[in-house]
Amino acid sequence: MKTHRPTTALLSLLLVAVLAGGCFKKIGYDTFYVLQPWTQDGAERFAPPFGTVRAYAFAADTTYWAIRSYEEALAGTIASVRTGERMEAMAEGEPYVIDGNENWLAMQLDGPRFFILAVDLEHRLYAYTEQAMGENLPRLHASVVFPLVWKSKRVKNGKWVVCNDFYEPEVPVTPPDTAEESAPQEQRDL
């Protein structure tokens, strides 16, 4: 007849507890967010001049919060879609220089999800996206491309929505000679 020793069972239980304890790590969202802005003219992509782009982060999502104008983007605020309430940025991008790239911006963020706003001061453009942060991710690099060729006021560019509130579509002007030739014969005889 076998007898179980209480110490063997206790040691087994202790071993399981120690091994299982390693599975329960602390989850954090403290992330160093690096934004790399680019400007694109046709097929050519280049870095905008230092100091001509601003970046902001909000503890919000793009479903219930929006940017209503370039002026609002420039001020670093967003508005509630439901109530119109305004929210100021919880973080603003600071210059981040690495490997000769002087126009990058960085923010220290702590949370699972953010509304990120980038503003191109030189071309009066702004872009926004909703950025999810990975668990225990110390650094996250993202890039935004500001196009210089426009066909509408808003363009979806990857995860980003890029806006140009000052875009006016070109209206084709019909030269006077062409209008007269296309008029019916009766009108030309008058």
The per-residue pLDDT for range 75-116, each reduced to its tens digit, is: 999 999 999 999 999 999 999 988 888 889 999 999 999 999
pLDDT at residue 183 is higher than 60 = no
3-state secondary structure the chain: CCCCCHHHHHHHHHHHHHHHHCCCCCCCCEEEEEEEEEEEECCEEECCCCCCEEEEEECCCCCCEECCCHHHHHHCEEEECCCCCEEECCEECEEEEECCEEEEEEEEEECCEEEEEEEECCCCEEEEEEEECCCCCCEEEEEEEEECCCCCCEEEECCEEEECCCCCCCCCCCCHHHHHHHCCHHHHHC
Q: What is the pLDDT of residues 33-65, one digit of tens each?
A: 999 999 999 889 899 988 999 999 999 999 999
Task: Output the CATH code of domain 30-163.
Answer: 2.60.40.1120
Banded model confidence at residue 5, pLDDT cuts 50, 70, 90: low
pLDDT at 186 over 60: no
pTM assigned to the model? 0.76
* Mean pLDDT across 157-178: 84
pLDDT at 11: 54
